[in-house]
């Protein structure tokens, strides 16, 4: 009688294991499972060595890139965050797909993000802002309630309306090479001035002047800011006025 071929099923493995534990001879097991003597003996040996009748997981397909390639991908991405992913792939691992590069970046928490926009700051201005933040880091909520914040805002044309994408992780959004700094140009459509303090809104006023010099701005503060400072004083005490000059 010809014996069955191919891999043993889980049911056949269970039969062989149960009959072997009962010390049945191989000839008896052959009749029940219809397998050759060699197949039964090989299975019994593997089961004894592993302590189980289950197969070990297979090796599977070897990875297309190793850990060294993944480190190179992340390192080169940080050197030029604005490069397209296909360009990064071509320069580092041209033998794999862009999807593989995406997965490698994802493993270290990196992907393509829109570059955050903020005004272009000179190095000394950035250092001054950092020093200011450190000097006020221990202020309490009550301390900040007495601060009046003021700034101008303009809606203007931009020289490059395209969205800039950079490669970074979640915590690198404010890194210098992850932002898209912009210059404030002359193409102003609307400019406004406003202030607030605590959870309270202050004055909001459009600046209708063709140009604003220090005398016009001083007049603006005297007419629009003074009532707000008086309101703060009447509510919580001496106010502090802060303005963004960058």
Q: Contact 129/116 with Cβ under 8 angstroms?
A: no
pLDDT band at 53 (very low <50, low <70, confident <90, very high): low
147-167 residue pLDDT tens: 888 888 776 665 556 778 888
175-211 residue pLDDT tens: 888 888 766 555 556 778 898 988 888 888 887 766 7
Among 188, 193, 120, smallest CA distance to 156 is for 188
Q: Contact 177/166 with Cβ under 8 angstroms?
A: yes
Residue 4 has pLDDT above 80, yes or no: no
The CATH code belonging to domain 116-120+140-243 is 3.30.420.10
Distance between CA 218 and CA 226 in Å, rounded? 11
> What is the reported pLDDT for 202?
86
pLDDT band at 81 (very low <50, low <70, confident <90, very high): very high
For 116-131, what is the mean pLDDT? 87
Q: Contact 179/118 with Cβ under 8 angstroms?
A: yes
Q: Tokens for 2?
A: 């010809």
Q: What is the DSSP pairing of strand 147-156 with strand 188-197? A: antiparallel
Mean per-residue pLDDT of the chain: 82
> What is the reported pLDDT for 159?
55
Is the pLDDT higher at 29 or at 2? 29
- Chain Cα centroid distance, residue 55: 40
Q: Phi/psi of residue 201, each to 5°?
A: -85, 135
5-37 residue pLDDT tens: 777 887 788 888 888 888 888 888 888 888 888
pLDDT band at 127 (very low <50, low <70, confident <90, very high): very high
Distance between CA 119 and CA 105 in Å, rounded? 29
**Long-range contacts (CB closer than 8 Å, 24 or more residues apart) made by 68-71:** 69/93, 69/104, 70/104, 70/107, 70/108
Residue 145 has pLDDT above 90, yes or no: no
Domain ranges of the chain: 10-50, 67-108, 116-120+140-243
Residue for token digits 């050759």?
36
Distance between CA 246 and CA 243 in Å, rounded? 9
pLDDT band at 101 (very low <50, low <70, confident <90, very high): very high
């Amino acid at each position: 009688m010809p014996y069955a071929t191919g891999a043993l099923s889980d049911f056949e493995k269970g039969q062989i294991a149960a009959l072997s534990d009962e010390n049945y001879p191989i000839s008896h097991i052959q009749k029940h499972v219809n397998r050759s003597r060699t197949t039964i003996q090989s299975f019994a040996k593997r089961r004894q060595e592993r302590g189980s009748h289950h197969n070990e997981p297979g090796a599977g397909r070897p990875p297309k890139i190793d850990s060294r390639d993944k480190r190179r991908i992340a390192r080169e991405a940080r050197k030029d965050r604005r490069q397209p992913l296909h360009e990064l792939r071509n320069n580092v691992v041209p033998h794999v797909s862009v999807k593989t590069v995406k997965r490698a970046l994802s493993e270290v928490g990196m992907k393509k993000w829109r570059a955050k926009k903020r005004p272009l700051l000179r190095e000394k201005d950035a250092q001054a802002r950092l020093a200011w933040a450190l000097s006020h880091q221990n202020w309490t909520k009550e301390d900040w309630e007495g601060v009046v914040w003021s700034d101008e805002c303009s809606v203007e044309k931009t020289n490059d309306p395209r969205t800039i994408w950079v490669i970074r992780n979640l915590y690198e959004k404010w890194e210098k090479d992850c932002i898209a700094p912009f210059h404030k140009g002359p193409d102003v459509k609307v400019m406004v001035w406003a202030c607030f303090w605590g959870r309270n809104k202050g004055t909001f006023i459009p600046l209708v002047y063709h140009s604003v010099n220090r005398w016009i701005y001083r007049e603006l503060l005297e007419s629009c800011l003074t009532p707000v400072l008086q309101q703060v004083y009447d509510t919580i005490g001496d106010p502090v006025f802060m303005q963004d000059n960058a």
